[in-house]
Chain A
Amino acid sequence: MLKRMTTHLLAGAMLLAATGAASAETLKVWSRQTDESALILKTLTDAFTAKTGIQVESYNTGTDFEQRLARAAAARDLPDVVINDDAALGQMLKMGIIEEVDPTKIEGNDQIVPAAWNSAKGANGKVYSVPISAQAFALFVRKDWREKLGLPQPKTWDDLHKLAEAFTKNDPDGNGKADTFGMSVPASTVRGYASWYMSNFIWAAGGNFVKQEKGGFKPDLESKPVADALGFMRSLFCEGLVQPGAINATTGDALPTFRSGQTGIFLSGPYHIAVLDEQPGKDKIEVLPPPAGPGGVAALAEGTSAYIMTGTKARTAAEKFIAYLISPEGQEIGMGEGTGHTPLVRLPINKTVDVDAVRKDPRWGTFKEVFDKSGHYVPPVPNWTPIRMLTAEGFNKILASCNSDIPAELKSIDQEMAAELRKQKALAE
């Protein structure tokens, strides 16, 4: 009985494995996306196949992308193209899994907005990816709450603080219970969220993570602007103006607090427009540029890039696919307008594609404006991931305790950062 079962299992296994094998002509594309937004990638690859006859086998995961890549690398079984955050470039380069890209071989490379190329280079100055999408942060605010309380749109940090306070204390949803909070903040150390989020405020305060000097970078967190930024955020925490549990929250945890009407302010990227239109509702929210800090308006600019993987046997096909991704047609499909899904292409990186014409939604225009005028990419250190992780630990520590000595903590983060930069051979001594 047992033996028969085992035989059946093995036979079944082999059958499945045999049918799963892909033919040699297909281009394998992996994308760091959730299933919900992967539908847009599918539309894209289908259109590409129809146009060129090149088959595409796409795979997406939003939960364990890096680990899957690491395993595939160890098995020498990498896909041909990977679509991933541009900030992952340093890490993928360190893993040795991406190849240099010759932009001139990608048709339409001259149509890419110059700023977007910033994030495509390795520390050695060579190009390792092609940007396919860009984005910046802006402020989602509960318009209905704000108007009910008769408050203006927040233009400065001071306004923001007042608005958060009013949302927390003045019962904006009018249910007679003190069950609302000002702002949704993801301050977890997981994946480095705290650092990713705080970077907006650090730049708005006029501060920097590192200074670029001859021979490399120098940690630069121990400064008044950075201390101001953390002091401002900590005041929101300590006065109870952020959602409960903010200190341990990832974006996945923070989003539902804004959606469910627990908070009324949410600093996030344009990928959340679709879900927020559904709940709390399109008529209830507004998108505003991030309020100005002591150093002006600033926001984290990031992007998504296409990478060609080491050892690909389909390089020409990969280049063709990337060219299609950045073409006006590919960009427009990637924007997924009218699908209700989270778009693959947030802000197009192709100069000839007009966001307003495609989106017909001024809120996207706001994001574009923030990106163009106030966007800051993370510093071009060789590998940003470990620095994001260690600064997230440090910021989380500061925000978690209302009487922490901010300058002293910043100093100690700087020391850790220096050690990491030295390891990356990028410390200016």
Chain B
Amino acid sequence: MKPSLAVRAARILLYLVILAIFVGPFWGIIVTALSGLVIKPGQLLLLPVQPTLANFKTALIDMQVWRYLLNSLVVAIVGTALQVAVSALAAYALARRRFRGAAIVSLLVLSTMMLPEEVISIPLYLVVQARFPVIDASIYNTYAAMILPVVGWAFSIFMLTEFMRAVPKELEEAARIDGANEWQIFANVVLPLVRPALGTVVIFGFIMIWDQYLLPLVVVSDKQLFTIPVMLGMLRVDETITPNVFVAATLLAMAPTIICYLLLQKQFNRGIMAGAVKG
């Protein structure tokens, strides 16, 4: 039975309203960034006026947004890779092994998500600035200082823990009988089975790292190393640029997360599905 014309029209209208609400503002931002007409504070253009790419050029080249994008990419890519690796290992222990202290470890890790990061900014600075003995160097003012602290993220660990728990124990037992050691069970049995979940964790990890604002300010003073959110914070109060350029810079800052999401979208959805089906 095909739905009547009226029902279909109502449905299309509903879709349009939903799209206008959730995607409309982004449309306004894109059009404004592509327009030469300087907007007043509080204005957005819905159709391009004096279309131009000049705002992007100013943002990318004159304001050197490319440099900050590059820094952000280095931090986010390396950081996400390490974060997922470290989280997968930890999740394996928490999900597949029963041991004394597991509960307390879980609670401690979870608690790190509940504390305002501002409060740990001073101790974190001291830790990052501390010089290693023997080599007499610290990670302060390096990419490593922005990467290492985000490698540990409770959220990734818990997501992967949940997924790994769902892997049937029979598979593990079978592998053990075949003489597989712990590492082989982790790498060859459990990990491949949670691949869709890895996609989900990568997306959320990437977004989380990409959005870090306070961390770079605390662990880096060299402006050449600043990341894109820090740059946006400075551009926002920059008295020499037009709002259009700021909007263009904002779009550039958003692009990598959107690309990351679109690339991994299939895995992401499958990851979420898998999680749901288990429940």
Contacts and interface: CB of A to CB of B under 8 A. Distances in A.
B129 A36 contact: no
Contacts of B129: 75, 77
Interface in B83-124: 85, 121-122
A63 B125 contact: no
A12 B41 contact: no
Contact of A9 (B135, B143, B234, B243): B143
A427 B139 CA distance: 46
B234 A62 contact: yes
Contact of B144 (A10, A20, A36): A10
A17 B238 contact: no
Contact of A16 (B82, B122, B142): B142
Contacts of B140: 17
Interface residues of A, number: 43
A35 interface: yes
A261 B144 contact: no
Interface stretch (B4-12, B26-34, B217-225, B247-255): B217-225
Contacts of A6: 82
Nearest to B136: A18
Interface stretch (A66-74, A158-166, A214-222, A369-377): A66-74
A64 interface: yes
Given A70-B122, A71-B218, A13 B143 contact: yes
Interface string A10-37: 1011101110100000000000001110
B41 A9 contact: no
B139 A17 contact: yes
B263 interface: no
B16 to A, nearest CB: 29
A68 B81 CA distance: 30
Interface string B230-265: 000110111110010000000000000000000000
A17 B141 contact: yes
A245 B42 contact: yes
A5 B78 contact: yes
Contacts of A5: 78, 81-82
B125 A14 contact: no
A424 interface: no
B177 interface: no
Contacts of B221: 59, 68
A62 B233 CA distance: 10
A275 B122 contact: no
Given A2-B85, A12-B143, A34 B238 contact: yes
Nearest to B145: A13
B240 A14 contact: no
B62 to A, nearest CB: 12
Contacts of A413: none
Contacts of A70: 122
A9 B40 contact: no
A14 B147 contact: no
A174 interface: no
B40 A260 contact: yes
B45 to A, nearest CB: 14
A12 B38 CA distance: 43
B137 A18 contact: yes
Contact of B41 (A2, A36, A260): A260
A12 B144 contact: yes
Given A36-B238, A67-B121, A257 B41 contact: yes
Nearest to A262: B40
Given A14-B137, A17-B137, A275-B240, A74 B122 contact: yes
Between B141, B218, B223, B240, the greatest number of chain A beta carbons within 10 A of the residue's beta carbon is seen for B240
A338 interface: no
Contacts of B40: 179, 257, 260-262
Between A59, A67, A262, A272, the greatest number of chain B beta carbons within 10 A of the residue's beta carbon is seen for A67
A150 interface: no
B61 interface: no
Interface string B198-239: 000000000000000000011001110000000001101111
A2 B187 CA distance: 14
A126 B122 CA distance: 30
B58 interface: no
A275 B237 CA distance: 13
B141 A16 contact: yes
Interface stretch (A91-99, A227-235, A248-256, A317-325): A248-256
A18 B210 CA distance: 27
Listed from nearest, the 3 A-B pairs whose CB atoms lie closest are A13-B144, A13-B142, A252-B237
Given A260-B41, A278-B240, 9 more contacts: A5-B78, A14-B137, A17-B139, A17-B141, A36-B239, A68-B217, A77-B129, A252-B237, A260-B40
30 contacts: A2-B85, A5-B81, A6-B82, A9-B144, A12-B144, A13-B142, A13-B144, A13-B145, A16-B142, A18-B137, A20-B141, A34-B234, A36-B238, A59-B221, A63-B234, A67-B121, A70-B122, A71-B122, A71-B126, A75-B126, A244-B41, A252-B237, A253-B41, A257-B41, A260-B41, A260-B243, A262-B40, A272-B239, A275-B239, A275-B240
Interface of A: 2, 5-6, 9-10, 12-14, 16-18, 20, 34-36, 59, 62-64, 67-68, 70-71, 74-75, 77, 179, 243-245, 252-253, 255-257, 259-262, 272, 275, 278, 342
